[in-house]
Structure 1
Amino acid sequence: MAQRKLIIDCDPGVDDVLALLLALNTPTCSVALISLCFGNIGVTTSVRNVVATFQVLESERQYRSQHKLPLLPYHLHNPPGDNSTWPIVALGSTIPVSSRRTVGAEFFHGTDGLGGVHESAPQFSPSETCILPFYDPKTLSADQVITREQVIRDSKGYIPTSRQSWREILRILREEPEDTVTIVAIAPLSNIARAALEDPPTFSRVKEVVCMGGTIDLPGNMTPFAEFNFYADVDAAAIVLATTSRTPSSTLPPSSIAVATSFRGVGDDSEYNPVKFYLFPLDITSRHRLRKQWFVERCAGWLDKTSITIPHPGESPLATWMTVWLGAAFGKMEDLVTFEGGSRHCAADQADGVDGAYIEMHDPLTMYFAIVSDEERAASFNVAENMDIRMETIGQWSWGMCVLDRRGIAKRHPHEPRPARDDEAWLDNTKGNRVNLVVEGPGSQTFGIKLLDRVLGDLEAQ
């Protein structure tokens, strides 16, 4: 299988970091860019979590080398001193495209995005100066510039840049062959929308966008209708969904700034091709869970522990670090069981055949689809193709809702007359969005075990 080149746009909370670890430890993937967006936490906190991830992976390399243990795929493909395969890390949007609402998810992920790991396990946390390489040196003091240069020299596993992440997205899409780069969008879509708005023809060179967002038939996790990523920047979601259309202006809402700028008349531009877009809504991601029991059992060999606690020094740095923030996430979910009455969680227990705490694998499942072979996609996932899904950006109570035509009326062909009841072109085959909706996946246990095996490595190989 040829290597998949990835751009990962994320807001690194708990499931984002799991998704990053999954991608970095996949031998058939090359991560070109980690683009950071506001969302679960602010972008400066996101930087610290990404830098911590690379620091822990470097510590894990040293630990496994010292104890003559098998290295992770990440270590094998990123040898020390060779930065030719290191991903670029770039800061992106700090606010929504429209600036109309700003939200966060600290209530679940913690103020640092990882359940307080920077306080409870400071040995794994980078200095706050790790943010300096992402700022333009012209905006820094002389002392900060000196520190910035030292931080860049000391960086291992990643290459920091002060260039805005959506411009890095466009640069990579220009430089790489057309239809070779996959964007994995697991944050609010602000960075992706800014790239699409700035240069639609270049953005349309992308092979595919694989996105976690929205909800179709399930209630939302922010409002009765809205999922977090789409709710956080509804205009960005509307813009990116519109890139799937031959005539993007047919689905862009009046509130979107795109109507008056880049996408006006873009359907007539021969340089622009509709983007292939795969959507992972809550309907499928919430059915794929990582159980606390599975994680504890999988880590036992690395930590010699049977419960999630902070292990003593000398054990696997990666497993040690993960126990801290995953332990906090499992604890938060246990609190939610009590708060919500437990009905949804009891149903999940029946589906998995396992009781106890779990976290939903929104971002890792989306990443898994992006990194596996076409054959495994076909075997493990079911996709409803070319669905006209649009974003509600105006409604008082339906803000962030994914809207579909549920009337069951056949779409008309170009030569057929336009129905009087079709003011918004829902029945026109030449208009509307064309979203590939992922409706079935491999299942919780199958996916959860594969995720842990990929991230932690194969203990049997020892």
Structure 2
Amino acid sequence: MVCKKIIIDTDPGIDDILALLLALSAQPEDVEVLLISLTFGNIEVKNCLRNVVSMFHILEREIQWRREKGRPEGFGAMRAFRPVVAVGAEDPLEDQKMMADYFHGTDGLGGIHASHPHLTASQAWEHLFDPAIDADGIKTVQTGADPDDHSFIPSKVPAHKEILRVLRENEPDTVTLVAVGPLTNLALASAEDPETFLRVKEVVVMGGAVHQPGNVTPVGEFNAYADAFAAARVFALTSPNPNSTLPPTKSSLLPPYPAKLSRQLTLRLFPLDITLRHNLSRGEFRAAVKPLLEAGSPLAEWVSVFMAHAFKTLERMHPGHVGDDAQLSLHDPVCVWYALTSEDPHWAPSATSPEDIRIETVGQWTRGMCIIDRRNRHPIEGDEESSNDHGLWLSQRAGNRIYRMDESPAETTFGTILIQRLFG
């Protein structure tokens, strides 16, 4: 099997961290994480960066602990290939910013940096991401932590430019981009250089709700809601005529796409419809992690703190999520699991895929809603609007082409698989 190459665009975030840990825990012959690109979303992007750096800090300690205990070290993908970490979008393209700190906590991990400061990386790493340039255009030399001392490669380049660099430096159709936050970085990359962006093998998106209620509004899922304009632009690249589904814009921040592009984007959408079926219960987590906590595992201690916050928040927000029966939906880890195991025939899109799914950007109550055409109408030829086809919903030459994922190989057992992969 060929080693998979992936980019993870993320806003860590509790389930984002679980998704990153899942990717980094893979065998080095199975996957190489080329880039972790960060965006605002669950929290401010600076807090996202602190969470990712702290994750690597904990993993370095965990591997040392396992080595001293004579345990398998794990996290081969991280030890074999140091991923680049790049900081991206601080704000949505056009929408009012909304974050999910009501669930994840203001720091994204349930207040862990204040309550357990010994688990947070030293601030000596901050300058590694500082894009300061001196008067001659040369990056300022800083003293302090050595980039080679870390399990990651810090970048001073904006995340969307790093995405384009990775796609440019690898053969077409060899890199999968897993996007588990708002799609702002992807929209910026595809606007700057759409042909380079289209070198991606496929984009795997956690976002939206098609036949399920939303989780931040009655119809809006958080990632699609947080930057609906960016999501609509990325979705449009799946269309034979991308400009036919571009959203109306209040600014000239991003231009239309070129009239002709060399190919269409392959986008696999993991909406709430499928991610809500992949869960981890508090009881499952407690049983797996308790002996590791007693043995002194740094990773078990770190994850236990923010998972305790997550389960407590679920109890407060949702009826029925009580005690060991509380279920955390593994939205983002499911997308990474697909990227790692996409050749498994049990992964399947909906029977109606590819579907014309569009993101609402301007509605008072429907921002971020996944719109599909529920009318029973005959398709029509042509790519111009007619009196009975406003928006080119019936045109065979327009509309998006989204693969909405609907079946997985581990719907009822994924929580167990995740814990086994992380803690071995």
Write the distance in 2 (CA, Å) between the matches of 1:379 and 1:157: 34
- Residue aligned with 1:437, SS: strand
Residue 410 of structure 1: CA displacement?
3.4
Counterpart residue number, 1:54: 56
Aligned ranges 1:347-426 → 2 under 5 Å: 356-374=325-343, 376=344, 378-384=345-351, 385-413=353-381, 420-426=387-393
Aligned ranges 1:267-416 → 2 under 5 Å: 268-269=260-261, 272-304=262-294, 315-337=296-318, 341-342=319-320, 345=321, 356-374=325-343, 376=344, 378-384=345-351, 385-413=353-381
Query: Does structure 2 retain, via aligned residues, the 8 Å contact 1:290–1:444?
Result: no
Residue 11 of structure 1: CA displacement?
0.3
Counterpart residue number, 1:307: none
Q: Deviations over 1:158-216 (max 9, x none)?
A: 00011000000001111100000000000000000000000011111000000001111
C-alpha root-mean-square deviation of aligned residues, in Å? 2.4
Write the distance in 1 (CA, Å) between the matches of 2:265 and 2:314: 36
Q: Does the alignment pair 1:137 with 2:132? A: yes
Kindly, what percent of the aligned residue pairs are identical?
42
Higher helix share: 1
Counterpart residue number, 1:110: 105
Moved more, 190-199 or 148-157: 148-157
Q: Deviations over 1:292-346 (max 9, x none)?
A: 1111111133234xxxxxxxxx611111111111111111111113xxx44xx59
One-letter code aligned to 2:391: E
One-letter code aligned to 2:293: L
Q: TM-score, normalised by structure 2?
A: 0.93
- Residue aligned with 1:32, SS: strand
Residue 358 of structure 1: CA displacement?
1.9
Runs (5+) with no aligned partner, structure 1 = 305-313, 347-353, 458-462
- Residue aligned with 2:412, SS: helix
Distance verdict in 2 for CA 1:132–1:360, change over 3 Å: same
- Residue aligned with 2:41, SS: coil
Q: How many residues align?
A: 418
Distance verdict in 2 for CA 1:178–1:426, change over 3 Å: same
Write the distance in 2 (CA, Å) between the matches of 1:335 and 1:251: 39
Q: Does the alignment pair 1:180 with 2:147? A: no
Distance verdict in 2 for CA 1:260–1:119, change over 3 Å: closer
Q: Deviations over 1:38-94 (max 9, x none)?
A: 00011111111001111111111111111111111x2x4454xxxx72000000000
Aligned ranges 1:261-272 → 2 under 5 Å: 261-265=255-259, 268-269=260-261, 272=262
Write the distance in 1 (CA, Å) between the matches of 2:219 and 2:251: 23
One-letter code aligned to 2:144: Q
Write the distance in 1 (CA, Å) between the matches of 2:31 and 2:370: 31
Query: Does structure 2 retain, via aligned residues, the 8 Å contact 1:292–1:356?
Result: yes
Query: Does structure 2 retain, via aligned residues, the 8 Å contact 1:7–1:33?
Result: yes
> Which residue among 119, 123, 141 is the counterpart of 1:124?
119
Q: Does the alignment pair 1:439 with 2:420? A: no
- Residue aligned with 2:354, SS: strand
Write the distance in 2 (CA, Å) between the matches of 1:110 and 1:395: 28
Residue 130 of structure 1: CA displacement?
2.6
Query: Does structure 2 retain, via aligned residues, the 8 Å contact 1:7–1:31?
Result: yes
Query: Does structure 2 retain, via aligned residues, the 8 Å contact 1:200–1:262?
Result: no
> Which residue among 91, 94, 119 is the counterpart of 1:95?
91
Q: TM-score, normalised by structure 1?
A: 0.85
Write the distance in 1 (CA, Å) between the matches of 2:254 and 2:64: 54
One-letter code aligned to 1:328: H
- Residue aligned with 1:454, SS: helix
One-letter code aligned to 2:302: W
Write the distance in 2 (CA, Å) between the matches of 1:432 and 1:19: 31
Write the distance in 2 (CA, Å) between the matches of 1:449 and 1:139: 51
Moved more, 279-288 or 127-136: 127-136
Write the distance in 2 (CA, Å) between the matches of 1:36 and 1:114: 15
One-letter code aligned to 1:69: R
Q: Deviations over 1:338-380 (max 9, x none)?
A: xxx44xx59xxxxxxx962121111111111111141x2x214
Runs (5+) with no aligned partner, structure 2 = none
> Which residue among 384, 404, 420 is the counterpart of 1:453?
420
Write the distance in 1 (CA, Å) between the matches of 2:47 and 2:387: 52
> Which residue among 49, 57, 63 is the counterpart of 2:65?
63
Distance verdict in 2 for CA 1:394–1:264, change over 3 Å: farther
One-letter code aligned to 1:239: R
Q: Does the alignment pair 1:217 with 2:207? A: no
Write the distance in 1 (CA, Å) between the matches of 2:230 and 2:252: 9
Counterpart residue number, 1:429: 396
Moved more, 205-214 or 392-401: 392-401
Counterpart residue number, 2:222: 228
Distance verdict in 2 for CA 1:202–1:262, change over 3 Å: farther
Write the distance in 1 (CA, Å) between the matches of 2:147 and 2:193: 33
> Which residue among 154, 164, 167 is the counterpart of 2:158?
164
One-letter code aligned to 1:333: L
Write the distance in 2 (CA, Å) between the matches of 1:424 and 1:115: 43
Write the distance in 1 (CA, Å) between the matches of 2:2 and 2:200: 17
Query: Does structure 1 retain, via aligned residues, the 8 Å contact 2:346–2:407?
Result: no
One-letter code aligned to 1:297: A
